[in-house]
Structure 1
Amino acid sequence: METLVHRPYIFWYLTIIVLIKYVTFALRADDNGEGGTFALYAIISRACNLRSGGATHTSDFELSGYDPLASATAPQGSDVAPAPNANVKVRSGANARVKRALATSSFLQVLLLSITLSAVCLILSDGVLTPAISVVSAAQGIQYQSNISNDAVVGISIGIIVIIFSVQQFGTKKISYLFAPVTTIWFLAIAAVGLYNIFKFRPAVFAAISPHYLYYYWKAGAHEAWVKLGGVTLALTGAEALFADLGHFNAPAIRTSFIAFVYPSLVCAYLGQTAFIIHDRSAAPTAFWSSVPKPIYWPMVVIATLAAILASQAMITGCFSIVQQAVALNCFPRVTIRHTEATHRGQIYAPQVNWVLMAGTVIVIGIFQTGPGIGAAYGLAVVSTFFLTTSLLSLVMLVAWEWNVGWVLLFWLPLSTLEGMLLSANALKVPDGAWFPLGVTAILVTILATWTYGQKLKRGYQDQHRSYLLDLLQPADGPGAGPTQALQLAGSRQRLGVAPGIGLYYTESLAGVPPVLAFLLPRIPAIHEVTVFLTVRHVPLPTVHASERLLLRKLHYQGFYHAVVRYGYMEAVDHDKQFVDTLVQELLDFLSPEVIKESEAAAADEGSPSDVTLGSATGRARRSLAAAAKAIAAAHRAATALKAVDEDASTKQAGKALVGQDGKDTPGLALHVEEREGAPSPWVQQPSQFRASLRKRRGASLSADTFPTNAPAQSEQALVGAAAGHGTRFILGNTHLTPSTDCGWIKAFVVETMYGVLSRNIQSTAQTYRLDPDAAVEVGINMRV
């Protein structure tokens, strides 16, 4: 009876947590094909118009796949973007109130981000524990049929771990071919062993899944039952990875393979062990290995070891991916990310993360030494991740899927109760080893919180000290050097020199002069022939289609432009020669007379004179340039993007959602900011595609006969072409935060010591963006906060 009463919990937890929660519901919450914690956060962010570390720009709403209710429609590898989704319409009632609260409350936004980052830190701690418990458990199979000591098992396990982590730098493409056959053989083997034990020792063991045994489980002794409940967790490990790996497969494939193959195999395996334990009670501590028939024992050891290696590999790769996503969202210090396979986006390698994970795994094996010992540490991290994922998934149901609150509570309440029971049972194991994941998670949370706080201080300083183009520069008397307009500093009236080539000045803001340029001009009064303010934006999408990546607009003075390059959280920034060539070509297309005419009409709110749409060129329903430009230009009115938050909200509430709680101007949204910026044209997305659509609709080549000439635009085209021939320079600011004299000692310690250590040991922006080292210039800027 004691053996039977414990098995219903394994079966029902496996059914409810894995089959119902993850396979049935979580796999529906894919972010354009991607899964995991950041996918849930991104869906919520888009549904409520949130963006970590900055404001949501109106143009983000036009991105294909931005609608959290829609799935990606473009095939992978296609050069054509799917149709942009209309802004999400919110039903009235609780759904609208929750969306409004998240859109306007800084506290709730911080809480949401904290839950997300806590789940991420727990998964990273699993990245240390999963290889340890998988390899040690497999290696212990050798010990049960030989005379080797436990120290030998530890040594073998550490050797395997070192090999696994050492080969990460070479990529996983070659061993990836082993995943399908090894896992198939593994699940077939454990199912066969389970069925063998069932029919040989206890065919009636299927009765163990009856819920009435749950009553006897608690009746036998509540406290003892509570303690033993923590052991169920090990049967559920891997469920979070099933959801996180969604991007490498697809939901129907995962759902079919689990329901038809993996789930029955696991049920047979656990029931088979139950039948064997009823036959031989002394075998309970080593139920799995003891139940394996001797003729196939050593083949099972080999298969288990291979399966453990592949499980470890999957977890390590998942950690690399999570860190890449966190870096992209500016929630994690920049670390080196290398792509080991040019044709596969997911094949990445993070050296610093790899060696830290290896050191942590070796320490875990050295401390706990046995599978059960590591299991005591493992359970708390796994169940905590389950609990946080349930909360995020429930929020997705409420704000993105817009389910009735009653249905959401019917999902959340039973799951949170069951997972809360597991969480409390595993919390009892803190003295036995569960302290380890808590310690690792606390360290990671401290690092992420420190980095996020430092980035917030930096953004606040930049907002407070922002300079605008018309406040900083003014036309100078007399002609410029060649075709370049002569400019001088507005304060000192010192004339600016002109350096040959194109200068790309990186900035995080959508408005104002880049801090690095504002810092340099008083000290080195010179500009390039062509000056481009370049903003790298990460939007809450896994990827941004190439046809939607670039936004351009012209600034007040000749040769000054602002470019916004958008990336998803699964993408790496690569500003190599190809990127520069593309940017130059887009600038030339942007300055073509036909595009200028269209954008001027949009800026004047006159509609599209040529009525040409991108849909006619791509074969998909795309909005016209004029319509898109008009929508972006209309962002100067605070309530323009209101529909994406809540159709019933007031203009004032919309202003708070877009401008911020303190009423400060959100970059690129306030009209007076545009006036000080001196931006005569709206943002234009991918001008080259618009020119192509014009060419197709007109059925003629672009010539003076087809479009009216525009002498200023043609002059700037010539200027850009000539400057491109003189080379490109990348100018970046390397900021250092210094505590002000009047701040408290705690803030001073966090800024100067904790954040300072992180900022001095991260990868430089030039390395992160893969800039040509011979063309990149980093300028140190001190910010007193």
Structure 2
Amino acid sequence: MSSDVVLVQNPIEETRHEEVFDHQDQPKKQKSSFEKLRRHDSLDLESATVPGHHDRGSQRSVILQLAFQSIGVVYGDIGTSPLYVYAGIFPSGIKNKDDILGVLSLIFYTITLILLIKYVFIVLRANDNGEGGTFALYSLICRYAKAGLIPSQQAEDYNVSKFKLELPSNRLKRASRLKSMLENSNFAKIFLLLVAMLGTSMVIGDGILTPCISVLSAVGGIKEKAPSMTEGRIVGISVAILVCLFMFQRFGTDKVGYSFAPILCIWFAFIGGIGIYNLFKFDPTVVKAINPKYIIDYFKRNKKDAWVSLGGVVLAITGAEALFADVGHFTVRSIQISTCTVTYPAIMLAYIGQASFLRKHEDLVPDAFYKSVPGPLFWPMFVVAVAAAIIASQAMISGSFSIIHQSLSLGCFPRVKVVHTSTKYEGQVYIPEVNYLLMLACIGVTAGFKTSNNIGNAYGIAVIFVMSLTSSLLVVVMIMIWKTNILFVIAYVLTIGSVELIYLSSVLYKIDQGGYLPLAFAAVLMIVMYIWNNVYRRKYYYEVDHKISSEKLKNTNFTRIPGLAMFYSELVQGIPPIFGHYLENVSALHSVLVFISIKSLPISRVPIEERFLFRRVEPRELNVFRCVVRYGYTDVHNERDSFEKTFLERLKEFIKKDTWLTQMQAQKGATTEKDTELEDGFEHDHNAKQDGEGEQEEVVRKEIELVEQACQAGVVHLVGETDVIAGKGAGVGKKFLIDYAYNFMKKNLRQTDKVFEIPHNRLLKVGMTYEL
């Protein structure tokens, strides 16, 4: 692919594009692919045929149904924020009655600017073929600029139906400069990856804090009707609820997920209705807080205290990132509809109602939410609040699983088992080890901090940090992929970007009051991710530098034994060095051998029709192939469908196509040589063509028969298990990184065969030590 072709995606279109090739054009396309195959020493035959891929229906009824379902999955976190926001803003009480108007104005403009304008109308359009989140933005950038740190890019990857090409124009100069900078600067590549890691770590930290603060705030309301309920008992009840919540994760969101929507609809109806009731009962004049003048007055009166209180205002937009992260389960349009028609009006009415109540009851700010609930509605509201808090926790825990699953695909997280919990919804996964660690962390935070106010100090940092990182990546997407007008980019940075930086400065002020917690979580996760990714890249580069040529394989003496061997390797191009180690000690090859590489593309999903890419290792008589099995970052590897069955079907198809292409190439060469003798040799050429077709069919039949016989003799999975040690002369830091930190994680987590569900009775491990 020429360097002047730029990859782009239209951010506005929600439908997925597909290329349809006319049958008559297929030989031309295949011939082109064949030529590229010979030129690039890569795997690209199968990518020439891209069958249609259907998207969700766009009918209005389907969109409305998805909008309803999204209420139960997306809005649990931001919907339960009214439980604790005012208490977080006024921890020492209200000093001036007009401060309530200033704070209400701050809440109104913060939610409108960040939730509505930034996320609903801008960020949601930066989805990656329907997927959202920090890694979705990172993958977009890596796809349009070669900013990945693993040298596994292949020409045929750009032919996957998730990619789209656009020819360069004058509008792309700025984008091309940024693209060039990312591709040519190793520092920029590492920095970009660290930003994605940090954002991921903060979201996981959010997944730890959300259950704690939501459940504690909801359960704490019981003190209103049971004054004898002590803080210790409330903490105990909250811990019990959290333990039950994590125990039920193994059953998957699909089992209970869409029963959440009616509960949250009731919740939003309650808080919106009670907000209207309180507005008219206590002080209808609070609606004048729409005037931003009250924000200026608030800061004039309180100065530093007003700035510090911004950390509490941030709690009003917790969960805004979930809109983007969960867009893969729904559509952009459905989330926009549910936000604008249900969530935004309901939570704004809740905050307005509480402000009206506090104008008459300034001393009740610590328990403003439950105190403002009319007496007859208290118990129904309490039950619904606890249910909504559990739902909010469920959404963030599920989101943490999805994010870690995405991190795995980029080699940024130690291998753990990913369980696909739903046959209907691809993104719903469960990770046992992570679930256990999250449960311990949540119990520790709840028991240690005891109140929602203390947790709120920590919560704010995680929320605004992720938002700031999302904005940073979004600016890169705007310039490089969307080619947005520079004036709009500057306007975005000066308004939304500056507001987020002000909020970030405020929450960092409380770092000694609990704010260190998400930073500590993020630091631990970043260290784990960095260690794993660093050694993962070192191993890959070692294999690239020490790979075996096909010539060496051809000139090695070995015996052939019946059967089909599938040799797993990280290496996409060439034969891995561990296979040479195997051959030196065994000196035998199965009758059919396939080198399999599991590769993650910087796209959300790879259709099953485009997953397998084959290439023959010459000479043909060896019956040795290479296969790259490509996954997107949301694809689940241990699929329920038989991997072997699909693999063998694709291998047979490849043999047919490869034989056909070889014959076409031979005929093309023969035609060129005899072009001047076309008339005299017509009869001879016609007969030769018929003979060639007969020979081709015979070759295909024999090869497929050989593969089938090999399968009947037995399929063996050869897995390379590499131990890594620091090379001679390595420094103390490198020795600690490889010999202790990485090897400790590797020994205590799952091995390759467990991750990919390889049958144990047909598994053979080949060990080798790499000196990195």
Q: TM-score, normalised by structure 2?
A: 0.82
Residue 575 (structure 1) shift: 7.3
1:602–1:419 Cα change, 3 Å: farther
1:605–1:245 Cα change, 3 Å: farther
State the match for 1:612 in structure 2: none
Matched, 1:526 2:588: yes
Greater relative contact order structure (CA < 8 Å, 6+ sep): 2
Residue 131 (structure 1) shift: 0.4
Matched, 1:439 2:513: no
Residue 590 (structure 1) shift: 2.4
Question: Matches of 2:300 and 2:575 in 1, distance apart?
Answer: 71
State the match for 1:36 in structure 2: 133
State the match for 1:47 in structure 2: 144
Residue 463 (structure 1) shift: 1.8
Residue of 186, 194, 205 corresponding to 1:106 = 186
Worse-matched range after superposition: 418-427 or 495-504? 495-504
* Secondary structure class of the residue paired with 1:108: helix
Residue 581 (structure 1) shift: 2.2
Residue 173 (structure 1) shift: 2.4
Residue of 346, 356, 365 corresponding to 1:284 = 365
Question: Matches of 2:479 and 2:511 in 1, distance apart?
Answer: 34
Question: Matches of 2:212 and 2:504 in 1, distance apart?
Answer: 21
Residue of 754, 757, 778 corresponding to 2:765 = 778
Gaps of 5+ in 1: 68-84, 475-488, 490-494, 610-702
Residue 551 (structure 1) shift: 1.1
* Secondary structure class of the residue paired with 2:237: helix
Residue of 542, 547, 571 corresponding to 2:609 = 547
* Secondary structure class of the residue paired with 1:532: strand
State the match for 1:383 in structure 2: 464
* Contact kept in structure 2, 1:331 and 1:448, CA below 8 Å: yes
Q: 1:753-774 CA deviation, whole Å, 9 max, x = no partner?
A: 1111111122111111111111
1:59–1:397 Cα change, 3 Å: same
Residue 32 (structure 1) shift: 0.9
Residue of 653, 658, 662 corresponding to 1:589 = 653
Q: 1:4-41 CA deviation, whole Å, 9 max, x = no partner?
A: 11211111010000000000001111111111111111
Question: Matches of 1:426 and 1:761 in 2, distance apart?
Answer: 36
Matched, 1:7 2:104: yes
* Secondary structure class of the residue paired with 1:292: coil
Question: Which structure 2 residues correspond to residues 88-487 of structure 1 after superposition, within 5 A?
Answer: 91-146=171-226, 147-474=228-555
Worse-matched range after superposition: 575-584 or 370-379? 575-584
Q: Structure 2 counterpart of 1:579, which letter? A: F
Question: Matches of 2:770 and 2:494 in 1, distance apart?
Answer: 47
Question: Matches of 1:577 and 1:257 in 2, distance apart?
Answer: 35
* Secondary structure class of the residue paired with 2:425: coil
Q: Structure 2 counterpart of 1:567, which letter? A: Y
Matched, 1:63 2:160: yes
* Secondary structure class of the residue paired with 1:569: coil
Worse-matched range after superposition: 523-532 or 570-579? 570-579
* Contact kept in structure 1, 2:564 and 2:716, CA below 8 Å: yes
State the match for 1:715 in structure 2: 702
* Contact kept in structure 2, 1:143 and 1:150, CA below 8 Å: no
Residue 89 (structure 1) shift: 6.6
Matched, 1:510 2:607: no
Question: Matches of 1:37 and 1:605 in 2, distance apart?
Answer: 49
Residue 412 (structure 1) shift: 2.1
Question: Matches of 1:574 and 1:265 in 2, distance apart?
Answer: 41
* Contact kept in structure 1, 2:594 and 2:627, CA below 8 Å: yes
Question: Matches of 1:414 and 1:186 in 2, distance apart?
Answer: 32
State the match for 2:30 in structure 1: none
Worse-matched range after superposition: 343-352 or 751-760? 343-352
Residue of 584, 592, 598 corresponding to 2:661 = 598
State the match for 2:80 in structure 1: none
Residue 574 (structure 1) shift: 3.1
* Secondary structure class of the residue paired with 2:109: helix
* Secondary structure class of the residue paired with 1:234: helix
* Contact kept in structure 2, 1:506 and 1:535, CA below 8 Å: yes
Question: Matches of 2:443 and 2:712 in 1, distance apart?
Answer: 54
Question: Matches of 2:605 and 2:170 in 1, distance apart?
Answer: 25
Q: 1:131-189 CA deviation, whole Å, 9 max, x = no partner?
A: 00010000001122212001010000000000000111122323213211011011110
State the match for 1:686 in structure 2: none
Question: Matches of 2:593 and 2:655 in 1, distance apart?
Answer: 15
Residue 600 (structure 1) shift: 5.4
Question: Matches of 2:291 and 2:671 in 1, distance apart?
Answer: 69
Q: Structure 1 counterpart of 2:223, which letter? A: Q
Residue 278 (structure 1) shift: 0.5
1:24–1:437 Cα change, 3 Å: same
* Secondary structure class of the residue paired with 2:767: strand
For the aligned residue pairs, the C-alpha RMSD in angstroms reads 2.1
State the match for 1:572 in structure 2: 636
* Contact kept in structure 2, 1:602 and 1:608, CA below 8 Å: no
* Contact kept in structure 2, 1:62 and 1:86, CA below 8 Å: no
Residue 272 (structure 1) shift: 0.7
* Contact kept in structure 1, 2:198 and 2:522, CA below 8 Å: yes
Q: Structure 1 counterpart of 2:191, which letter? A: L
Question: Matches of 1:191 and 1:166 in 2, distance apart?
Answer: 32
* Contact kept in structure 1, 2:659 and 2:696, CA below 8 Å: no
* Contact kept in structure 2, 1:154 and 1:365, CA below 8 Å: yes
1:602–1:426 Cα change, 3 Å: farther
Question: Matches of 1:722 and 1:500 in 2, distance apart?
Answer: 8
Q: 1:61-116 CA deviation, whole Å, 9 max, x = no partner?
A: 1011223xxxxxxxxxxxxxxxxx56777834321100111122211111111101
State the match for 1:628 in structure 2: none
Question: Matches of 2:740 and 2:192 in 1, distance apart?
Answer: 27
Residue 508 (structure 1) shift: 1.8
Higher helix content, 1 or 2 = 2
Question: Matches of 1:274 and 1:284 in 2, distance apart?
Answer: 10
State the match for 2:714 in structure 1: 727
Q: Structure 1 counterpart of 2:354, which letter? A: Q
1:96–1:31 Cα change, 3 Å: same
Q: Structure 1 counterpart of 2:627, which letter? A: A
Question: Matches of 2:283 and 2:738 in 1, distance apart?
Answer: 64
1:741–1:598 Cα change, 3 Å: closer
* Secondary structure class of the residue paired with 1:399: helix
* Contact kept in structure 1, 2:416 and 2:433, CA below 8 Å: yes
Q: Percent identity?
A: 36
Q: TM-score, normalised by structure 1?
A: 0.81
* Contact kept in structure 2, 1:505 and 1:514, CA below 8 Å: no
Residue 595 (structure 1) shift: 4.8
Residue 436 (structure 1) shift: 0.7
* Contact kept in structure 2, 1:506 and 1:731, CA below 8 Å: yes
Question: Matches of 1:566 and 1:87 in 2, distance apart?
Answer: 26
Residue 51 (structure 1) shift: 3.4
Residue 389 (structure 1) shift: 0.5
Worse-matched range after superposition: 214-223 or 356-365? 214-223
* Contact kept in structure 2, 1:575 and 1:771, CA below 8 Å: no
State the match for 2:77 in structure 1: none
Question: Matches of 1:567 and 1:766 in 2, distance apart?
Answer: 17
Q: Structure 2 counterpart of 1:446, which letter? A: I
State the match for 2:31 in structure 1: none
Worse-matched range after superposition: 124-133 or 458-467? 458-467
Question: Matches of 1:414 and 1:346 in 2, distance apart?
Answer: 34
Deviation beyond 6 Å, 4+ runs, structure 1: 87-90, 602-609, 703-707
Question: Matches of 2:271 and 2:721 in 1, distance apart?
Answer: 55
Question: Matches of 1:581 and 1:212 in 2, distance apart?
Answer: 68
1:379–1:552 Cα change, 3 Å: same
Question: Matches of 2:483 and 2:326 in 1, distance apart?
Answer: 25
